Structures are given as C-alpha cells and as structure tokens.
Amino acid sequence: MKRIYFILSLLCFGLATTAQKHHSPADHEHPSDTTDIFFHHLLLNEVTVTSATGETKLKHATTPVSVITNTELRQTTSTNIIDAIARQPGMAQITTSHSISKPIIRGLGYNRVVVMNDGVRQEGQQWGDEHGMEVDGSSIHSVEILKGPASLMYGSDAMAGVLILHSAPTKPEGEMWGNVASEYQTNNGLFNYSLNVAGNQRGFVWDARYSNKMAHAYKNKYDGYVPGSQFREQSGRIMLGLNKHWGYSHLTASLFHQTPSIVEGERNEGTGRLKCATDKIKTYGKVLPFQQVYHYKTVWDNSIHLPHGRLKAIVGYQQNRRQEFEESPDEYELYFRLHTITYDLRYLTQESDGWKLATGVGGMWQQSQNLGEETLIPEYRLFDMGGFVTLSKSLDRWTFNGGLRYDHRRLDFHGRNFNGVTGSAGAVWNVSDHLNLRLNVARGFRAPNMSELGSDGIHEGTLRYEIGNSDLKSEYSWQADLGVDFTSQYVSAQIACFANHIENYIFTKRIDKIIKDDYRTYAYTQGDARLQGIEAGIDLHPIHSIHFQNTFSYVDARQLHADADTRYLPMIPPARWTSELKYEFTHHGKAALNNAYVAFGLECNLAQNHYYRADDTETRTPSYTLISLSAGTDLNIHKQKVAELYITADNLLNRAYQNHLSRLKYTDENLLTGRQGICNMGRNVVFKVIVPMKF
C-alpha cells in the first residue's frame, strides 16, 4: 500500500493522467497523413466522442472517455481485440489461455460491461469465463471506452461502462482503398493475415474483409509449452450501403468462427510437466478437449436527417453457437445456441441556443437452446425494453447534461421480472482552452443473467463446477466521478477519481463441496459492495521527437459488512503502473523511412494482497514487472507509402508470472516445485506488416 500511495503522490504532483491521444473515431485517417505534435495536443479537446445526446466534443463530455486510435491499434501487439486495449488505464482483462480475454473496467466485468460492435451490443457468452469476444480484431478501426455507469444510454448491463468498437469510416466519394496485413509471433507461432477492400462510388459504399488466424501452444519459462492453448480463428465481414444527402443506410453481415482448445492443466506427478493429449505439442490442429464457437451477425443501420434533428434506427440479429468436444472430435457433448434480436430507435435534435435533446427506445429479445447431452444453464427466453430522455445545455464555458431511463426485462425462468430506473447528471467547466474540470453522478442497473440464476454444471474451460442462485436480485449502483485534464504544447495530463456503491453485488465463491469429478465447486451469492479508485498519468513531450508517458490505475473493491476473509471482492485487478519512452525520427513524408520510432516500455503490476480468502476462492498474487521494446516505420518508395513495418518484443526478459485475473492460475500444483497453476506467456517477438493499396 505504501508503494501505491508513493506512486500516486508523484503522479498527482505532476497533475498526472491517462494521457491518451484522442481522435474522433469517425475521422478518416489517410495512410500517408502525418500530424504535428504541437497541433495534435492543441486539438486534444476538439475531438468527437459518444454522449447521451449524440456526438459531442471531448471537452464537453461529463463522464470519463478514452479513445484508442487506429494508429495506436496498429502499433499494439495482441492475440485478440480485448488484449489490445486492456493496457489502458482503468482497463484489465480476465484470461483463460491467450485466445480468450474478457474486458474489465474499473474492477467490473462480465455482464457489467456492454460491448458495442457494428452499432449493436455484442451478445454471445459474455457471462462465461472461458468465452472471449466473438469479434475480429483486424476489423476494428478505433475504440471508445466509456467508464462508469452508462445504463442511461445502453440499459441493463452497462454498470461498469461500455466498449464501442468502431469499424473504419466509409471512404470519400470516388475512392477505393484496400490493404493486406500480416503478423507473426514467435512464442506461440501465431500467424495472422487480413484482406480488406472498401470504396465509395456516387454514394454507394462498400467494405469487405476476410481474416484468418492460427496459433499453437504458448510457452513460458516454468511450464514450457502449455497443451490446449492453441486455437484457430477465421472471420468475414461485408458492408453495403448508401451515403446520400438525406443520411445513410448500411447493411452489414459478418461471420466469426473460432476453435480454441481447452487447457486442463493436469501434470505428471513424477516429472511435474503438463500432460499433453498428443505427441505434437506445437500443432495448429484441434486437440481434445476443444470448442467450436460460431457467431453470425446481420445489422441494418439507418440515419435520416430531419429539419431540426436526426432520426437513427438500427436493428440487428445475432446467432451464437458453442459446441464442446470432450471424448470425440466428431461428437459434441455440449451445444448451446443463442438467438438475439436487438433494436434501437432514437431522435437527436440539433443544438439550438445551447440546448440539445435526445430521446428513444431500445431493447432486445433472446432465446437459447441446449442441443447437446450436457447442459450448463437451462433454456430461456428474454424480452428487454427501455426508454430514455436526455438533455444538454452549453453556457459559456459550462456544459450541463442529465437524463432518465426506465428498463423492463422479462425472463421466463421462474417467472422473473426486473425493472430499473436509472439516470445521470453532470457538468464540465472548461476553465481555459487547456484545462477542464468534470463532475458526474450516475445510477446504474443490472438484472442477473441466466448463468447466475440457473447454472448447474461444469465449466470445462475454467475447471470448475458452478451452481446458480434463482433468488438473486438486481444490482443497483450509485457512482460519482471527478476528473481534471490539462493539455499544452509540452504536457498532456489527467486525473480521474471515482467512488461506486453497488447494492446486491453478484459474485461467485468457492464452497467446500465436490459434486463431480473432483472439480472445484463455486456458487453464486451477493452482497453490498463499495469500489473506489483512481486513474492518473502524464505524457511529457519536451521536444518534438520525444514522448515520455506514465500511467497509474488502482481500484479498491470491498464487500460491506463482511469479515476479514470475505472483505475483498474476487477478480479485482491489482494496482498497475506503466511507462513508455518513445523517440520519433521523421515526419516530413519524403524519406524512405517515414514516421519511424523506437520505444521502451515498462509495465509494473503490484502485488494483489486484497483477495477473497474464504474457502480458497482466491490466492495472493505477487508483483511482477514486464519490459518491452518496439519499433516501427512507414516504407516509402518515390515518396509514396508502400508498407508499414512493426516489430515488438514483449516480456523481453522472459519473466515467469501469473496475472491475478488469469483462470489458469488455479490449475493443478506442480508437486516438484510447489507452484500452483500455469504462468502467462513468456518472451514474444512480434513482426507485423501492412500494405495499403489505392485503386
């Protein structure tokens, strides 16, 4: 704790903050564009982000918002889209092997985070630890992170915040672009390629992409190669639409298919080595047990300009399929299929005398089916509907906004009905062109999901048996946010504090009962909780070519009225400090190597001593520090960019470590060394090339 407060005091002294480089997700990033650093930081507060009353400038947003640009995504190494954004302040990820990641925002995850993709909420199996996001990371152009309760805009489940995954904006009239991207990672042999072509001819727009990814088992210093961590993934997406003076209409269809194997973590008692079901441990093929995950999605997105505003209507259909194969590669034991229809209709007014209004209705319908011999949760039907109204007023250097929402969810499980009234109120004071102060108070709501209510079976990927609780109540939260951000020619800084009180917080705890095959048994329960935290950082650029960025994030999550062993909530990320020193060489666009840079990175995760001790639900996680080196450049021929080249070495010193949120931390103990569980990935060198094409 002393180290936490020491780092925090240093950052606060420097008016520290998350220091993200904010750009509008809708801005078109031309492949040869360069941006002067001084100009960039002057425009930091002028970018457009999502708000309750439609798009708004960042300096007018009352809630904390972070934007990860397309450039930052290209320069980041990852095995999936959540892995790519989990290093942002306030973000973390629950992992089961390196192919499956689930987002955590300020200590909250699962159904408390809504992921928006192609304009609709991603509905698959976000309630399960061993299921990742069914999204092709190559198709994501930029990411918006809304931190804090966003139930006002997105209804139930948005208690922690929202991830908005933006696809690339449509091309300008008369242009057609394409690109080929490829990547190789040395640790797990990951090979990835993606093909894309998009264009705009007389308002007819299109965007098509195909991606393929495969990886064998990853390795680390203590465990060697980890059997069952291999996976394959392929996806396709096509968008067709019209961009006209009256607005736009886009139809998008996508397919995502992933085949992850399952890490069982069993060890040979004599050697301590992990058992492997095949002699070819570095195979890219399927090895029992494994899963087949399919996700189909179709979205119709429309926006119509009206005399005094804009009408937006969007409807989507998704079908998610998960099959588990345990004994035979041809016969599944578990087959879960989920149908989801989402709908949203809203009217957004133009600004008039500083006033803006937005109102709308939205919700979803779901039906699940169990088509295998085994079941984890019972079949169910769900109907969800909500309506909201928000209002915003700009007055000189002040912006005020607020709103109310009502939600109703009907679940045909014991005739359950859930209702929630939520809202928010906030203000921003633009003290100057460089300094902003923000305050927001929000009410969040989340109905319990079917897994929490009715689970009764084995989670193969998490190596545990889960028992639901049909008496669970809805979660309600009150959260207050206070933030300060500052930008100048040489400094970008921000500090954000939050306090969150949650009634009926739902979580799993281990119970001393074995139901089947020696699997650890977990049961759902709930209690009142309090989460408090801070995100801070500073980006210094004393000269044009140098950036020195530091960030710090910390959350303290406790169950109220609890004894010492149950005081701290489970699955809470530890305090984390990151630092990057980056040197940029050229920006004038004429050199053969343009926009070249080298960077040295450091990530320090402090020890997590605050954990749920009862019945060995969790264990302490020691601290660890990871070091990385990276470099990148544009390759120009005759002053035209022909490729982007990147190389990154993650975990450069090959540190053996366990992330506190890794599910593999609780696999079998190595009897020879006394270490329990499996470590995360060791040293990994990544090579990436992107070739743009203009037709």
Type of residue at 292:
Q
Instruction: Pick the more confident residue, 498 or 6.
Output: 498
Instruction: Pick the more confident residue, 648 or 587.
Output: 648
Rounded average pLDDT over 206-221: 97
CB 108 within 8 A of CB 239: no
Quickly count: other Cβ atoms within 10 Å of residue 162's Cβ.
25
Sign of CA dihedral 581, 585, 588, 594: negative
Rounded average pLDDT over 135-144: 95
Quickly count: other Cβ atoms within 10 Å of residue 686's Cβ.
21
Has residue 162 got a pLDDT over 70?
A: yes
User: Domain locations in the chain?
Assistant: 2-201+376-694
163, 218, 464, 418: CA torsion to nearest 10: 10
Task: Determine the pLDDT at residue 97.
Answer: 83
pTM of the predicted structure, to 2 decimals? 0.92
Has residue 53 got a pLDDT over 80?
A: no
Please write the tens of the pLDDT for every residue from 251-265: 999 999 999 999 999
Has residue 236 got a pLDDT over 70?
A: yes
Instruction: Pick the more confident residue, 21 or 149.
Output: 149
Has residue 223 got a pLDDT over 70?
A: yes
Please write the tens of the pLDDT for every residue from 629-656: 999 999 999 888 999 999 999 999 999 9
7 half-sphere exposure, CB direction, 13 A CA radius: 22
Q: 41 falls in which pLDDT band (50, 70, 90)?
A: very low
Has residue 32 got a pLDDT over 90?
A: no
Quickly count: other Cβ atoms within 10 Å of residue 660's Cβ.
21
Task: Determine the pLDDT at residue 44.
Answer: 54
Rounded average pLDDT over 191-198: 98
Q: Give pairs for 582-586: CB < 8 Å, separation 24+.
A: 582/546, 582/547, 582/548, 582/549, 583/545, 583/546, 584/544, 584/545, 584/546, 584/547, 585/545, 585/633
Task: Determine the pLDDT at residue 22.
Answer: 37
- The residues facing 583 across adjacent strands are 546, 598
Q: Name every residue whose Cβ is closer than 8 Å to that of residue 265 and which is 6 or more positions away in sequence.
A: 274, 463, 664, 667, 668, 677, 678
Task: Determine the pLDDT at residue 588.
Answer: 65
- Kindly give the pairing relationship between strand 398-411 and strand 381-395: antiparallel
| CATH code reported for the domain at 2-201+376-694 | 2.40.170
Rounded average pLDDT over 12-21: 36
Rounded average pLDDT over 542-560: 94
Instruction: Pick the more confident residue, 320 or 460.
Output: 320
197's enclosing H/E stretch is: strand 191-201
Has residue 28 got a pLDDT over 70?
A: no
Average pLDDT, the chain: 90
Interatomic CA distance for residues 156 and 65, integer angstroms: 20
Structure token digits, residue 589: 């666009």
Please write the tens of the pLDDT for every residue from 268-287: 988 999 999 888 889 999 99
Instruction: Pick the more confident residue, 106 or 543.
Output: 106
Task: Determine the pLDDT at residue 21.
Answer: 37
Quickly count: other Cβ atoms within 10 Å of residue 615's Cβ.
16
Instruction: Pick the more confident residue, 312 or 95.
Output: 312
For the chain, what percent of residues have pLDDT higher than 70? 93
Has residue 589 got a pLDDT over 80?
A: no
Task: Determine the pLDDT at residue 438.
Answer: 96
